Structure 1
Amino acid sequence: MDNITHSVIGLGVGELVHRSLPPEPQAPAQRTRRALFLFTAWFASNAPDLDLVLTRLLPRPFGYMLHHRGHTHTLLLALPQALILLALLWLLWPGARRLLKESVPARIGLAACLLLGFCLHMGMDFLNSYGLHPFYPFDSRWLYGDMVFIVEPMFWVLLGVPVIMSLRYGIVKSVLLAGLAAALCFFTYKTYLAPASLA
């Protein structure tokens, strides 16, 4: 799955988790919690694809074929990735650190964003024809659903528009909606997207 789809899914999860939990007593803590959940779910939804850095270790196309959707796309390595993200958040974001010390809902929500972000990344990658091998090294079989194309603009609209509409600033909303419309028109022009699908 493409990283735009992973991103909008992550942002949608962060917003959903934030709205599902009781609000924080102070408005600044509530804003920090929302930003923390959005960032965490977005990052966790994209973190396994950091293996793209490794694809340059070998000549094309072997590097991509051997390294992408490799070790970082396994359940075994999801935990270390989550712990690294938690450590970075704790060390580099003082406001989030204060919030997590004081708020049980913030801790529960952060754990939910991490878990859902990583699981949804692997689940979405499972749905396309390339698949992944989540149980490696215990089971090296590749699993794939062959249901969704790797780049799927439909998810951008279905998930991206609600996320964009949840933003506070009108100019940011307008720019992002215009960018989404331009991307869809570009993909239709390049014949990656059928005109009926665009309509």
Structure 2
Amino acid sequence: MDNVTHSLVGALLGQMGLKRKTGLAMPTLIIAANIPDIDAGCTVLGTVSLAMRRGITHGPIAMLLLPLALTAVMVWYDRRQTRRGTRPADRLPLRPGWLLALAYIGCLSHPLFDWMNSYGVRLLEPFSHRWFYGDALFIVDPWLLAMLIVGVWFSRKRDKAARGDWRRPARAAFAGIVAYLALNLGISTQAAAQARDLVPGARMVVANPTPVTFWRREVLVRTDSTYGSYDSVPFQALKAVSPIRPIGMEDPRIALRVVHNPEAQAFLFWSRMPLAEVQGDTIVLGDQRFSGIAAGNFRVELKP
């Protein structure tokens, strides 16, 4: 998911009551909810970065070590402010045990929400390069953002007014988000099942979420040699929205050219639904999930 969503998830957890467990609880939750994205710096490498994103910093070693590192930084920061006499008087006492627990909670929320979209996450890296996908949410979901914002805003407003029920809006938002995630997982599962029944020989089916219209899915279907897409709305029949086309990955020139092309190697390592299109002497690689083969960074040209 986008980092605004991750930040708000951390803030919502704090407003549910966790921010009162220790000093620096809220910044710890928000930073922890974002810290696996330290791999975003690799985007300066261009297409090669696709092989690195949502990998090692989202895997089990990172989930173990990043919260420890963050807790150590927070403890150091609090002690530094204490020595300098700049520690805010209204900050709660620092409880390292709770701080570490909150760092783990925030950090673990990150791959959970990343898993919810079709971009996916390599949850077992570096022990396995396998990608995991929930196919349930668009990468920026306005409905999820709205629930997070409303829950955090009303909870903070009540807290500032010294109301005893300040946690309630955040907890209600959390319950709504859990229901929303379950609903979207169900919609994607049903759409994928429809496509498998409709297309004989379907080898891969991805119920790709669409922006804003959370109930609709762009269902991407592949056989061994062809691909196509369908529009899915719950309780309605699938509608074809693109012609059946050849995948094109069987071209023997692809393997020969990829050997000497680090960008293509990274792209194919990352790609879930690779496609190939011949354009003169050039072969263009793309991924079916991302608007065909001409979608920004999600394409690589293999020249002779």
Deviation of the 1:17 alpha carbon = 4.0
Could you tell me which runs of 5 or more consecutive residues in structure 2 were left unpaired when the two chains were aligned: 80-86, 162-210, 214-304
Q: Is the 8 A contact 2:55 2:126 kept in 1?
A: no
Return the offset for 1:15: 2.2
Paired letter, 1:50 = I
Aligned to 1:37: 25
Instruction: Tell me if the contact between 1:13 and 1:113 (Cα under 8 Å) persists in the aligned partners.
Output: no
User: Does the residue aligned with 1:54 lie in a helix, a strand or coil?
Assistant: helix
Which letter does structure 1 place at the counterpart of 2:104?
L
CA contact (8 A) 2:141 2:212 kept: no
* Residue among 151, 172, 182 paired with 2:140: 151
Pair 1:75-2:64 in alignment: no
Equivalent position of 1:179 in the other structure:
none
Deviation at 1:49, TM superposition (A): 0.8
Deviation at 1:98, TM superposition (A): 8.4
Quick one: distance in 1 between partners of 2:17 and 2:103? Answer: 11
Match of 1:16 in 2: 16
Aligned to 1:175: none
Aligned to 1:85, the other structure's residue is in SS state helix
Deviation at 1:69?
A: 0.8
Q: Percent identity?
A: 33
Q: Are residue 53 (structure 1) and residue 41 (structure 2) matched?
A: yes
Quick check: 1:17–1:112 contact (8 Å CA) kept in 2?
no
What does the per-residue CA deviation read over 1:5-30, in whole Å, with 9 as the maximum and x for residues that have no partner? 10111111122243785xxxxxxxxx
Retained in 1: the 8 A contact 2:143–2:212? no
Residue 151 of structure 1 aligns to a residue in which SS? coil
Structure 1 residues not aligned, in runs of 5+: 22-32, 101-105, 171-191, 195-199
Q: TM-score if structure 2 supplies the norm length?
A: 0.46
Q: Do 1:14 and 1:40's aligned partners in 2 also have CA atoms closer than 8 Å?
A: no
Work out whether residues 117 and 136 of structure 2, in 8 Å CA contact, stay in contact via their aligned partners in 1: yes
Q: Check whether the contact 1:17–1:113 (CA below 8 A) recurs between aligned residues.
A: no
Do the aligned partners of 1:73 and 1:134 also contact (CA within 8 Å) in 2?
A: yes
Q: TM-score, normalised by structure 1?
A: 0.68
Q: Which residue is equivalent to 1:88? A: 73
CA distance in 1, matches of 2:156, 2:42: 35
Structure 2 match to 1:62: 48
**Post-superposition CA distance 1:17-62 (Å, at most 9, x none):** 43785xxxxxxxxxxx36x111111001000111111221x2x233
Q: 2:110: which partner in 1?
A: 121
Quick one: distance in 2 between partners of 1:42 and 1:78?
15
Structure of larger gyration radius: 2
Q: Is the 8 A contact 1:14 1:39 kept in 2?
A: no
Query: Higher RCO, 1 or 2 (CA under 8 Å, sep at least 6)?
Result: 1
Residue matched to 1:160: 149
1:19–1:45 Cα change, 3 Å: closer
**Paired AA for residue 6 in structure 1:** H
Aligned residues: 155
Instruction: Go from structure 1 to structure 2 and tell me whether the alpha carbon gap of 1:111 and 1:17 turns closer, same or farther (over 3 Å shift).
Output: farther
* Paired residues for 1:126-141 under 5 Å: 126-141=115-130
What is the aligned-residue RMSD (CA, Å)? Answer: 2.8
In the TM superposition, structure 1's runs of 4+ consecutive aligned residues that sit over 6 Å from their partners are none
Secondary structure of 1:99's match?
coil
One-letter identity of the residue aligned with 2:47: P
Q: Offset of 1:150 from its aligned partner?
A: 0.6
